[in-house]
């Protein structure tokens, strides 16, 4: 009882702390997705609000508990209590929505002997119905959501339907690494290959969604013979997830063709999302989180590795569930990892899979290349030309979350620094500020990766791009030279005076007050094939008033005449130095410093 009382006291103090002095929230439910500025965070790496849950209630060493704050691949102690405590900091830079990596209960540790790591990131789920004890409880999640909503901030959950934690193994080919076994060589109708015994009589194939057809798939040993290790037979929740019949069981994906849909993602148990029982199961799972907690959106992990028909059923069900809960602007966006300016490859998923939006990897690539100086600014022209390809056209592209870097690919500052190894810290800061200016003013929903506002750099992708905001004990993090700061990750980094934090806050305020920067149509005015000018006009969706954006990605100042709307007779500077009037009707002479940004609003 003493433990329960202490936890209830902690919950009460969290709510009191976060709600005290907070102004009444505006009707945040009425804001469309494109109005938001998102802050993306890994809860384990943000703030440790309750050290008592660091080991998730488990006993033993790090291979049992998953906790080792000195190792980059293990839990460090961040939790929901810490996130709730830092809502002032998050909201202070102008962000209006929080997206965090999955918080569902994970397998604490997995991986081959000597190469184990922990589920601190949240993507190795065993129980889809409860918060991982390393992060807190369902009650603490409710407290966090309510505290955010009280401030008018939205909460987006990161969800997974492609796979669960790695529990199932295979009887065959452990020494061979469980290579992928194809539908052609290992059909559902034979055990272990085309020469094997007949199994699953009457099954018409996984393209037939009829539940009666799937009842005839009773033997999961068509490619490999799945084996559930002793002691893990009931580890997954809901209980139906423990049956191997609901998985593909074809071995590890090689990321090409068929295996991208049917293969295990680095050993993770790949769900048979063609099966109507799996479809309904996940509608029930994630619908409950909407019903009980009133969350505002989903980021869908590994969306490209799930068959499109699954999303065609899942997305409408989630939108209907949210609407019934009084959430009319539920934001759903999928992860389709395409590291190129290839809008067609992303837009395909809005048509074939029915995803309302996808993470705009094309924007990230264009920004990294332009701001790093490795390419010109013409990639942005190509990017925006591709907006017409999305279902709903350029208007739908306004809902794409845009970003500069993330927990998988690495941090934006890392790419900039790697491309400019001789650059001074002042130049690196200017370049990184330029990238954030593009992020916060060009079309799409700006998404800030936690720590970028404190100058985090990262040494590489994945684990090396997941530093802690509270004081770190990881040597590979603490030797980094942060941009715009004399601090290191060995001390807590929640400085609202950091130049990047202040820069983001300033631009966020300009964005919120300027409808053209939120929902305005885009017209590219000028671009360069080498580092240099990018000029874009955006237009107020109600009045048509023009806002001219200009960026200089080169290390030298530049001047140029920019075509503008003939009706734009005068300008006010929202950021930088703008001429008060055009040089001639339809033409504005701009001068930009190196790595400069100008935002000019027409009268």
**What is the domain count for the chain?**
3
For 283-319, the pLDDT digits (tens) are 999 999 999 999 999 999 999 999 999 999 999 999 9
448 & 349 share domain = yes
| Residue recorded with tokens 């704050």 | 69
450 & 529 share domain = no
Cα–Cα distance, 273 to 309 (Å, whole number): 9
459 & 499 share domain = yes
301 & 384 share domain = yes
User: Which pLDDT belongs to residue 26?
Assistant: 58
Establish if 27 belongs to a structural domain: no
**Which secondary structure element, helix H or strand E, spans residue 92, and what is its range?**
helix 87-92
Establish if 531 belongs to a structural domain: yes
Establish if 8 belongs to a structural domain: no
**Which secondary structure element, helix H or strand E, spans residue 227, and what is its range?**
strand 226-227
For 412-465, the pLDDT digits (tens) are 999 999 999 999 999 999 999 999 999 999 999 999 999 999 999 999 999 999
97 & 246 share domain = no
For 470-484, the pLDDT digits (tens) are 999 999 999 999 999
The phi and psi torsions of 369 (rounded to 5 degrees) equal: -65, -40
Where among 511, 545, 567 does a domain terminate? 511
Establish if 1 belongs to a structural domain: no
184 & 310 share domain = no
The mean pLDDT of the chain is 95
- What mean pLDDT is predicted for residues 523-535? 98
The answer, yes or no, to whether the previous bond of 209 is cis (omega within 30 of 0) is: no
At residue 1 the predicted structure's pLDDT band, cuts being 50, 70 and 90, is very low
446 & 353 share domain = yes
User: Which pLDDT belongs to residue 296?
Assistant: 98
The SS3 call for residue 78 is coil
Q: Is the pLDDT of residue 8 over 60?
A: no
For 47-90, the pLDDT digits (tens) are 999 999 999 999 999 999 999 999 999 999 999 999 999 999 99
247 & 371 share domain = no
542 & 456 share domain = no
At residue 11 the predicted structure's pLDDT band, cuts being 50, 70 and 90, is very low
Contact present, 432 and 416 (Cβ < 8 Å): yes
Q: Is the pLDDT of residue 94 over 90?
A: yes
Bridge partners of residue 163, in order along the sequence: 270
Cα–Cα distance, 384 to 369 (Å, whole number): 16
How many residues would you count in the chain?
Answer: 603
Q: Is the pLDDT of residue 486 over 80?
A: yes
For 157-197, the pLDDT digits (tens) are 999 999 999 999 999 999 999 999 999 999 999 999 999 99
Please name the residue ranges forming H helices in 235-360.
259-262, 276-293, 308-324, 343-352
Cα–Cα distance, 68 to 53 (Å, whole number): 13
Report residue 384 as tokens.
């925006």
For 222-232, the pLDDT digits (tens) are 999 999 999 99
At residue 25 the predicted structure's pLDDT band, cuts being 50, 70 and 90, is low
Establish if 218 belongs to a structural domain: yes
User: Which pLDDT belongs to residue 18?
Assistant: 38
Establish if 121 belongs to a structural domain: no
594 & 477 share domain = no
Active site residues: 301, 335
540 & 481 share domain = no
Contact present, 15 and 8 (Cβ < 8 Å): no
Query: pTM for the full model?
Result: 0.95
Q: What is the CA radius of gyration of the chain?
A: 25
281 & 387 share domain = yes
* Domain region containing 544: 519-602
For 226-249, the pLDDT digits (tens) are 999 999 999 999 999 999 999 999
Bridge partners of residue 104, in order along the sequence: 131
For 565-592, the pLDDT digits (tens) are 999 999 999 999 999 999 999 999 999 9
Where among 511, 531, 553 does a domain terminate? 511
Query: 559: domain CATH number?
Result: 2.60.40.1180
Cα–Cα distance, 505 to 501 (Å, whole number): 6
Where among 511, 536, 552 does a domain terminate? 511
Establish if 19 belongs to a structural domain: no
User: Which pLDDT belongs to residue 9?
Assistant: 42
Establish if 377 belongs to a structural domain: yes
């Amino acid at each position: 009882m003493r433990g329960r009382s202490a936890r209830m006291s902690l919950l009460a103090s969290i709510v009191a702390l976060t709600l005290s002095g907070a102004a009444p929230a505006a009707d945040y439910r009425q804001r469309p997705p494109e109005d938001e500025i998102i802050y993306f965070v890994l809860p384990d790496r943000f703030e440790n609000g309750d050290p008592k849950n660091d080991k998730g209630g488990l006993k033993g060493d790090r291979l049992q508990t998953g906790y080792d704050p000195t190792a980059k691949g293990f839990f460090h102690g961040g939790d929901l209590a810490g996130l709730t405590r830092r809502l002032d900091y998050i909201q202070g830079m102008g962000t209006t929505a929080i997206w965090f990596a999955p918080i569902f209960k994970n397998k604490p540790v997995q991986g081959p002997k000597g190469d184990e790591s922990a589920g601190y990131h949240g993507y190795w789920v065993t129980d889809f119905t409860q918060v991982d004890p390393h992060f807190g409880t369902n009650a603490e999640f409710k407290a966090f959501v309510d505290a955010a909503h009280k401030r008018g901030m939205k909460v987006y959950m990161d969800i997974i339907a492609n796979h669960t934690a790695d529990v199932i193994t295979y009887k065959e080919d452990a020494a061979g690494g469980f290579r992928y076994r194809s539908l052609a060589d290992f059909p559902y109708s034979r055990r272990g290959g085309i020469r094997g015994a007949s199994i699953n009589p009457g099954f018409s194939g996984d393209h037939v969604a009829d539940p009666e057809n799937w009842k005839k798939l009773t033997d999961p040993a068509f490619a490999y013979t799945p084996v559930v290790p002793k002691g893990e037979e009931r580890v997954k929740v809901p209980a139906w997830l423990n049956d191997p019949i609901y998985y593909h069981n074809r071995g590890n994906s090689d990321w090409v063709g068929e295996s991208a849909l049917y293969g295990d993602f680095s050993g993770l148990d790949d769900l048979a999302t063609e099966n109507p029982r799996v479809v309904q199961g996940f509608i029930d799972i994630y619908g409950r989180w909407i019903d009980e907690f009133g969350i505002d959106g989903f980021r869908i992990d590994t969306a490209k590795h799930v068959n499109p028909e699954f999303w065609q059923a899942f997305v409408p069900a989630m939108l209907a569930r949210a609407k019934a809960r009084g959430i009319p602007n539920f934001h759903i966006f999928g992860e389709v990892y395409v590291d190129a300016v290839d809008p067609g490859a992303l837009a395909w998923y809005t048509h074939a899979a029915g995803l309302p939006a996808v993470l705009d990897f094309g924007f990230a690539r264009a920004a990294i290349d332009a701001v790093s100086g490795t390419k010109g600014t013409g990639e942005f022209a190509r990017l925006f030309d591709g907006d017409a390809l999305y279902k709903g056209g350029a208007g739908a592209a306004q809902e794409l979350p845009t970003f500069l870097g993330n927990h998988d690919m690495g941090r934006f500052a890392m790419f900039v620094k790697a491309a400019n190894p001789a650059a001074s810290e002042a130049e690196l800061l200017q370049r990184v500020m330029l990238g954030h200016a593009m992020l916060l003013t060009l079309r799409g929903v700006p998404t800030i990766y936690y720590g970028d506002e404190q100058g985090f750099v990262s040494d590489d992708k994945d684990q090396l791009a997941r530093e802690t905001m509270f004081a770190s004990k990881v040597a590979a993090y603490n030797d980094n030279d942060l941009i715009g700061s004399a601090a290191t990750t060995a001390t807590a980094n929640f400085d609202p005076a950091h130049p990047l934090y202040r820069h983001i806050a300033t631009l966020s305020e300009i964005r919120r007050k300027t409808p053209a920067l939120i929902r305005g149509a885009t017209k590219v005015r000028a671009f360069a094939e080498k580092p240099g000018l990018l000029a874009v006009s955006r237009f107020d969706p109600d009045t048509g008033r023009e806002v001219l954006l200009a960026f200089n990605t080169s290390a030298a100042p530049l001047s140029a005449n920019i075509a503008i709307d003939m009706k734009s007779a005068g300008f006010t500077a929202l950021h930088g130095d703008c001429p008060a009037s055009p040089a001639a009707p339809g033409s504005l002479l701009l001068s930009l410093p190196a790595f400069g940004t100008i935002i000019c609003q027409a009268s």
